């Protein structure tokens, strides 16, 4: 590299580093800034020389060649961080993961040690589809993901942009501009292969959203008032299902368990409703001298009750019987808002609760059944609103459990 070429290269490096510092929080002490700014003629760097980049609050620096700065900046300009869990660039996809703790503790630690010992990434697999090659691997340390975390400001001195706990599945493609859906499909296949071939299981692990508090930040006040603990026959099962739901980190799994709570209690609701109808019928004057028509009407009550064998109708009856609409109003899913509000404005709370019940039943079925076998009803919540539906179903489940607990033990079905 002659003097002119070196001068142009140095200027290009300086411009790149300046953009990295201003836009991407990356800085370095290696580049001879003072000599460069003063126009010293003896400033010289080589494209294969190493430069150390650092992120705020991070103790470690990240080494790469000067010539690799330019493609890194180019990639950073296309990078997008999604829900603190995924990062996509023009040709790379990163998803933060964590190993699922193995039943055999030694297997878990062996896998972790293997990942940390591989400089070029662990569990490398390549896959070609439609002329595009994908390279999958598990990596840790400095990544584009960490840079975008720094840009987002979601870090502090105790939780830097790059943490020792950070582990990623990285998928690099030979094509640019691929969609998230394509990368996610490859990721799912990669997770399956790790599990089936190595018995090594991983799951997505979003980076926690940091909340910064100071003395002026309003603190939640807890008033220690409680209702008596629920106990008695039949309560163990719905409480167990509820606890599994709140333990789940995935809203779709929580939806399934909350739906199970509602379905469990629905059987008691159905039985009580049928009992009341039959009792009313038996207390009529005609019961003292029943004729064929009376017996037919009595049998029809049983037949009409069979509609509740369907999940949708059972969930609808449980929610309209056990739930209080005004308590649920602030947290119903956004997609349900128009139908819900239209009924609430007419003070038709039962109809509003029916709309919520159809939404819950349809979404639950769309999650539980294979897509090839499931026909959309139009009442399903879109995936981006699963978290909101889960929060709404959490309150529904609390209400149906308390309704169930308030019934006499002789009325409960378990």
Residue 280 pLDDT > 80: no
129 φ/ψ angles, rounded to the nearest 5 degrees: -145, 125
Three-point CA angle 206, 209, 215, nearest 5°: 160
pLDDT in tens, 42-71: 667 788 888 889 999 887 788 888 899 999
pLDDT score, position 228:
87
* pLDDT band at 93; cut points 50, 70, 90: very high
Among the ranges given (80-89, 216-225, 252-261, 350-359), the one the predictor scored with the smallest mean pLDDT: 216-225
Confidence of residue 96 (pLDDT cuts 50, 70, 90): very high
Tell me the β-bridge partners of 133.
128
Write down the pLDDT at residue 301: 67
pLDDT of 198 reads: 85
Average pLDDT over residues 300-324: 80
pLDDT band at 216; cut points 50, 70, 90: low
Task: Answer whether residue 399 shows pLDDT above 90.
Answer: yes
Task: Return the closest-CA partner of residue 308 out of 260, 275, 349, 266.
Answer: 266
Confidence (pLDDT) at 156: 87
pLDDT-derived band at 295 (thresholds 50, 70, 90) equals confident
What the block records as the tokens of 41 is 């003629």
Distance CA 6, CA 3 (A): 5
- Partnered with residue 156 across adjacent β-strands are 159
**pTM of the predicted model as reported, rounded to 2 decimal places:** 0.67
Inform me whether the pLDDT recorded for 107 exceeds 90.
Answer: no
Asked if the model's pLDDT at residue 19 lies above 90, the reply is yes
Calpha distance 411→414 (Å, rounded): 10
- Is the separation of the CB atoms in 43 and 35 below 8 Å? yes
The confidence band for 185, taking pLDDT boundaries of 50, 70 and 90, is very high
Three-state secondary structure readout of the chain: CCHHHHHHHHHHHHHHHHHHHHHHCCECCCCCHHHHHCCCCCCCCCCCCEEEEECCCCCCCEEEEHHHHHHHHHHHHHCEEECCCEEECCCEEEEEEEECCCCCHHHHHHHHHHHHHCCCCEEEEEEEECCEEEEEEEEECCCHHHHHHHHHCCCECCECCCCCCCEEEEEEECCCCCCHHHHHHHHHHHHHHHHHHHCCCEEECCCCCCCCCCCCCCCCCCCCCCCCCCCCCCCHHHHHHHHHHHHCCCHHHHHHHHHHHHHHHHHHHHHHHHHHHHHHHHCCHHHHCCCHHHHHHHHHHHHHHHHHHCHHHHHHHHHHHHCCHHHHHHHCCHHHHHHHHHHHHCCCHHHHHHHHHHHHHHHHHHHHCCHHHCCCCCCCCCHHHHHHHHHHHHHHHHHHHHHHHHCCCCCCCC
Residue 363 has pLDDT above 70, yes or no: yes
CA 160 → CA 55, 137, 207, 315, distances in Å? Answer: 8, 23, 11, 46
pLDDT computed for residue 145 by the predictor: 95
pLDDT of residue 182 exceeding 90: yes
Task: Give the model's pLDDT for residue 237.
Answer: 92
Q: Is 274 exposed, middle or buried (0-12, 13-18, 19+ CB in 10 A)?
A: middle
State the chain's mean pLDDT as an integer: 86
Tokens of 302: 């049983």
pLDDT in tens, 109-145: 787 788 888 888 999 999 999 999 999 999 988 899 9
Task: Report how far residue 98's alpha carbon sits from residue 401's, in angstroms, rounded to the nearest whole number.
Answer: 34
Residue 393 confidence class, pLDDT cut points 50, 70, 90: very high
What pLDDT score does 278 carry? 67
Res. 370 pLDDT band, cuts 50 70 90: low
* pLDDT of amino acid 42: 66
The fraction of the chain above a pLDDT of 90, given in percent, is 47
Listed in sequence order, the residues at least 6 apart from 279 whose beta carbon sits closer than 8 Å to its beta carbon are none
Residue 206 has pLDDT above 80, yes or no: yes
C-alpha to C-alpha distance for 253 and 243, rounded to whole angstroms: 12
Q: For residue range 221-264, what is the model confidence (pLDDT) as tens digits?
A: 878 888 888 888 999 999 999 999 998 878 999 999 999 999 99
């Amino acid at each position: 590299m002659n003097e002119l070429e070196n001068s142009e290269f140095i200027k290009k490096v300086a411009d790149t580093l300046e953009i990295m510092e201003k836009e991407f929080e990356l800085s370095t002490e290696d580049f001879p800034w003072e000599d460069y700014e003063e126009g010293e003629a003896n400033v010289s760097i080589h494209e294969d020389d190493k430069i150390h980049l650092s992120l705020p609050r991070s103790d470690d620096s990240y080494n790469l060649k000067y010539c690799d700065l330019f493609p890194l900046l180019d990639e950073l300009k296309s990078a997008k961080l999604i829900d603190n869990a995924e990062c996509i660039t023009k040709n790379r996809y990163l998803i933060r993961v964590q190993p699922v703790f193995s039943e055999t503790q030694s297997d878990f630690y062996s896998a972790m040690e293997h990942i940390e010992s591989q400089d070029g990434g662990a569990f490398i697999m390549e896959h070609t589809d439609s002329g595009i090659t994908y390279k999958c691997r598990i990596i840790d340390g400095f990544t584009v993901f960490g840079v975008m975390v720094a840009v987002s400001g979601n870090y502090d001195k105790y939780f830097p942009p790059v943490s020792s706990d950070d582990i990623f599945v990285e998928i690099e493609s030979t094509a640019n501009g691929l969609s998230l859906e394509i990368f996610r499909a490859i990721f799912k296949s990669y997770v399956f292969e790790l599990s089936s071939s190595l018995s090594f299981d991983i799951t997505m692990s979003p980076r926690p959203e940091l909340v910064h508090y100071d003395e002026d930040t309003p603190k939640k006040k807890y008033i220690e008032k409680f209702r008596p603990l629920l106990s008695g026959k039949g309560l163990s099962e719905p409480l167990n299902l509820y606890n599994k739901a709140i333990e789940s980190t995935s809203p779709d799994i929580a939806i399934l368990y909350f739906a199970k709570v509602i379905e469990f209690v629905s059987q008691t609701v159905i039985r009580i409703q049928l009992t009341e109808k039959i009792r009313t019928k038996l207390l009529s004057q005609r019961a003292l001298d029943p004729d064929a028509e009376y017996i037919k009407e009595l049998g029809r009550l049983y037949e009409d009750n069979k509609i509740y064998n369907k999940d949708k109708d059972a969930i609808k009856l449980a929610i309209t019987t056990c739930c209080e609409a005004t308590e649920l109003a602030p947290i119903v899913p956004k997609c349900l808002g128009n139908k819900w509000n239209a009924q609430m404005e007419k003070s038709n709370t039962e109809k509003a609760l029916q709309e919520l019940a159809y939404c819950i039943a349809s979404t639950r079925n769309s999650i539980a059944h294979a897509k090839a076998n499931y026909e959309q009803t139009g009442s399903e919540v879109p995936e981006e609103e699963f978290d909101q539906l889960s929060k709404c179903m959490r309150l529904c489940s609390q209400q149906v459990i308390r309704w169930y607990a308030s019934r006499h033990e002789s009325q409960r079905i378990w």
